Amino acid sequence: MAHGYAISEYPDVPAIEARIKHLTTTKVRTLTADQLAAYHAWYERHTPASREAAARAEAVIPGGVQHNLALNDPWPLSIVRAQGAYLWDADGNRYIDFLQAGGPTVLGSNYEPVRDKVVALLADCGPVTGMLHDSETELARLIHDFMPAVQKFRMLGSGTEAVMAAIRAARAYTGKAHIIKVGGAYHGWSDQVVFGLRIPGTGSLEAAGIPAGAYATTSETPPGDLEALRARLSANAADGGTAAVIVEPVGPESGSHPAAADFNAAVRELCDKFAALLVFDEVVTGFRLGMGGAQGYFGIAPDLTVFGKCVAGGYPGAGGVGGSEEVMATFAGGLTAAGKRALIGGTLSASPLSCTAGYHALVEMDRTGAPVKAGQAGDRLRTGLQELIDKHDLPYVTYNFGSIVHLHTSGVLHLNLADPGFFDQLGPRKDMLGHMSMAFAAEGVITLAGSRIYTSMADTDEVIDDALAAFARVFAQIPPA
Ligand SMILES: Cc1ncc(COP(=O)(O)O)c(C=O)c1O
Q: What is the pTM of this model?
A: 0.96
Other CB atoms closer than 10 Å to residue 378's CB: what's the count?
29
pLDDT at 449 over 80: yes
Task: Report pLDDT for 1.
Answer: 45
| Nearest CA, atom 4, ligand 1 | 187
* Atom number, ligand 1, closest to the C-alpha of residue 282: 1
pLDDT tens-place string over residues 240-292: 999 999 999 999 999 999 999 999 999 999 999 999 999 999 999 999 999 99
Query: What's the CA gap between 157 and 260, in Å, rounded?
Result: 31
Residue ranges of alpha helices (H) inside 276-421 are: 293-298, 325-328, 352-368, 370-391
The residues that bridge with 435 in the sheet, in sequence order, are none
> What confidence tens digit (pLDDT) does each residue in 320-361 have?
999 999 999 999 865 554 566 899 999 999 999 999 999 999
According to the model, what pLDDT value does residue 481 have? 87
Q: Which atom of ligand 1 is nearest to the CA of 102?
A: 14
- What is the average per-residue pLDDT within 287-301? 98
Q: In what order do the strands lie in the sheet with 178-182?
A: 152-156, 319-323, 304-308, 277-281, 242-247, 178-182, 218-221
- DSSP character at residue 219: E
Query: Which is more confidently placed, 68 or 409?
Result: 409
Q: How far apart are CA 285 and CA 258, in angstroms?
A: 13
Cβ atoms 113, 287 nearer than 8 A: no
Distance from residue 167's CA to the centre of ligand 1 (Å): 15
241 class by beta-carbon count within 10 Å (0-12 exposed, 13-18 middle, 19+ buried): middle
Report the pLDDT value the prediction gives residue 21, as an integer from 0 to 100.
96
What's the 319 CA to ligand 1 centre distance in angstroms?
9
- Choose the residue to mutate in 160, 285, 401, 452 for probing ligand 1, maximizing ligand atoms within 8 Å of C-beta: 160
467, pLDDT greater than 90: yes
pLDDT in tens, 412-423: 999 988 898 899
Task: Using the atom order of ligand 1, give the atom closest to the CA of residue 160.
Answer: 11
Among this protein's residues, is 373 annotated catalytic? no
Q: Is 111 annotated in the active site?
A: no
Q: Rounded CA gap, 6 and 276, in Å?
A: 30
The best mutation among 186, 256, 279, 304 to test binding of ligand 1, ranked by most ligand atoms within 8 Å of the C-beta, falls on 186
The widest CA-to-CA distance across the chain, in whole angstroms, is 69
Residue type, 466: D
Instruction: Please tell me which residue in 309, 359, 373, 454 is annotated as part of the active site.
Output: 309
Give bridge partners of residue 197 from the DSSP assignment: 184
Pair type for strands 242-247 and 404-408: unpaired
- Across-strand partners of 279? 246, 304
- For residues 65 and 57, the answer to whether their CB atoms sit within 8 Å is yes
Q: Dihedral of CA 10/14/15/18: which sign?
A: positive
CA distance 443 to 445: 6
Break the chain down into helix, strand, coil percent, rounded to 5: 45, 15, 40
Pocket of ligand 1, beta carbon within 6 A: 102, 158-160, 163, 186-188, 248, 281, 283-284, 308, 318-319
d(CA 264, CA 3): 21
Q: CA–CA separation, 276 vs 112, rounded Å?
A: 43
Average pLDDT, whole number, for the chain?
95
pLDDT digits (tens, 9 = 90+) for 168-199: 999 999 999 999 999 999 999 999 999 999 99
d(CA 433, CA 20): 15
User: Hey, which of 66, 187, 354 would you mutate to test ligand 1's pocket, going by the most ligand atoms within 8 Å of its Cβ?
Assistant: 187
Please confirm, yes or no, whether 309 is among the known catalytic residues: yes
Q: Quick one: which of 186, 138, 158 has its CA closest to 310?
A: 158
| Average pLDDT value for residue range 230-249 | 98
- Residue 285 identity: T
